[in-house]
């Protein structure tokens, strides 16, 4: 049974929109940083969750050979983790062409400095030096992200603290669109236009004095818990670091990997007491283990009552308990590929239905219809 395409248009629940780039199977950092929260949100909000395949091309345009399988893997992990197509909309970004059209329209009026100041722009160029990222697509990916969001006119965008800047850019784009095309010009804007001053026009458009009755509401940030989840080397869990524990990791492999994880560097011998507060393994305990187990670990570590191997075994037990049901659901979905195809097809159709409504209003405001 699939949801009627009109359901999400008439929902009285506040709307939420978020997406994830398809980089292959998801790791525990992806799960706890976003997907776990999405599963909780879908019962409270009218949720749209998408696989951002166009965003994948902004950095991997030169070799898209694995893209199709990566999209499939992310879809399987989404559904196995608990996203329910009966209560939320799960879709593929490129299957809704309105994303690309709205991105193009936004690019006509978005000042270049807005894109260049996005914190992750220079950070990613530094981290991905082996790739040529001097492209319009990479520079413009925050604007594509703004189009992704505003196309569905969401009330909230769930993000961690480090992503708030992206949502703020989206709010600025919505504000400028509304000021340009959906408002009565204030005297300040009229004078700036007469003087042909782009800088003054922009300032006037964004000022508190502008009277805006826009069609693109500014979404609010919905800060979601994003627990510290270190990788095997103690750094942030990331595929680029090769330090991940995968959501679909076989139990034997997971336990073997955890045995190699770094611990408190001061605890050299088994008889040395440790400090859980600086141990990456204990960070995993804080996310996956019960309070009782955490207390047992803290006491055993600080008194040298337990060794690191025993501590790692306990956290492995906790992680396996968390992901075993997910892996079971994933295997069932892999055995029925037609079901996954139908879910993505239906979700993309519902997303297009919503996107067409927004884009029609945008085109009318700009004067294209």
Give residue-wise pLDDT tens across range 16-34.
999 999 999 999 999 999 9
Joined tokens for residue 49: 């969750």
User: Would you say 166 and 55 are in contact if contact means Cβ atoms under 8 Å apart?
Assistant: no
Residue 246 CB neighbour total at 10 angstroms? 20
At 203-236, the pLDDT tens digits run: 655 554 444 457 999 999 999 888 889 999 999 9
Structure tokens at 194: 């007469």
Nearest-10 Cα torsion for 138, 140, 143, 147: -80
Can you list the pairs that 317-322 forms with residues at least 24 positions away whose Cβ atoms lie under 8 Å?
A: 318/284, 318/285, 318/288, 318/289, 318/290, 318/293, 319/28, 319/245, 319/254, 319/258, 319/284, 319/288, 320/251, 320/254, 321/288, 322/288
> Is residue 119 predicted with pLDDT exceeding 90?
no
Domains and CATH numbers, the chain: 15-228+336-366 (3.40.50.620), 249-332 (1.10.240.10)
Q: Which two tokens stand for residue 340?
A: 């996954």
Average pLDDT value for residue range 178-187 = 75
Q: Which H helix or E strand runs over 233?
A: none
* pLDDT score of 362: 96
Per-chain mean pLDDT for the chain = 90
The pTM for the full model equals 0.88
pLDDT value at position 199? 62
Report the DSSP beta bridge partners of residue 20: 51
Tokens 């996005």 sit on residue: 118
Q: Which DSSP symbol is given to 331?
A: H
Q: What tens digit of pLDDT does each residue of 130-163 get? A: 888 889 999 999 999 999 999 999 999 998 887 8
Element (H, E) at 88: strand 88-92
């Amino acid at each position: 049974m699939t949801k009627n395409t009109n359901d999400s248009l008439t929902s009285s629940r506040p709307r939420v929109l978020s997406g994830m780039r398809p980089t292959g199977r998801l790791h525990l950092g992806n799960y706890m940083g976003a997907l776990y929260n999405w599963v909780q949100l879908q019962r409270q909000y009218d949720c749209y969750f998408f696989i951002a395949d166009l965003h994948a091309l902004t950095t991997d345009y030169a070799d898209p050979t694995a893209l199709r399988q990566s999209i499939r893997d992310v879809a399987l992990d989404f559904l196995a983790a608990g996203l329910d197509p009966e209560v939320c909309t799960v879709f593929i970004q490129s299957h809704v062409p309105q994303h690309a059209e709205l991105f193009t329209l936004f690019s006509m009026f978005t000042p270049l400095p807005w894109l260049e100041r996005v914190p992750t722009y220079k950070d990613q160029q530094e981290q991905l030096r082996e790739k040529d990222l001097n492209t319009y697509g990479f520079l413009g990916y925050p604007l594509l992200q703004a189009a992704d969001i505003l196309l569905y006119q969401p009330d909230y965008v769930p993000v961690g603290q480090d992503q708030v800047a992206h949502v703020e850019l989206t709010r600025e784009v919505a504000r400028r669109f509304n000021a340009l095309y959906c408002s009565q010009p204030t005297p300040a804007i009229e004078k700036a236009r007469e003087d042909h001053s782009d800088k003054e026009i922009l300032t006037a458009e964004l000022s508190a004095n502008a009277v805006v009755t826009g069609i693109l509401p500014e979404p609010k940030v919905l800060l979601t818990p994003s627990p510290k989840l270190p990788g095997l080397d103690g750094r942030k869990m990331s595929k680029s670091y090769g330090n991940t524990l995968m959501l679909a990791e076989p139990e034997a492999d997971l336990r073997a990997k955890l045995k190699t994880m770094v611990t408190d560097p001061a605890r050299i011998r088994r008889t040395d007491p440790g400090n859980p507060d600086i141990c990456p393994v204990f960070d995993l305990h804080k996310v996956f283990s019960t309070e009782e187990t955490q207390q047992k670990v803290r006491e055993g570590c600080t008194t040298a009552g337990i060794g690191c191997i025993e501590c790692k075994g306990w956290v492995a037990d906790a992680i396996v308990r968390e992901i075993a049901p997910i892996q079971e659901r994933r295997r069932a979905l892999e055995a029925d590929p037609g079901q996954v195809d139908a879910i993505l097809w239906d979700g993309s159709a519902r997303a297009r239905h919503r996107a067409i409504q927004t884009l029609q209003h945008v085109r009318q405001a700009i004067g294209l219809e």
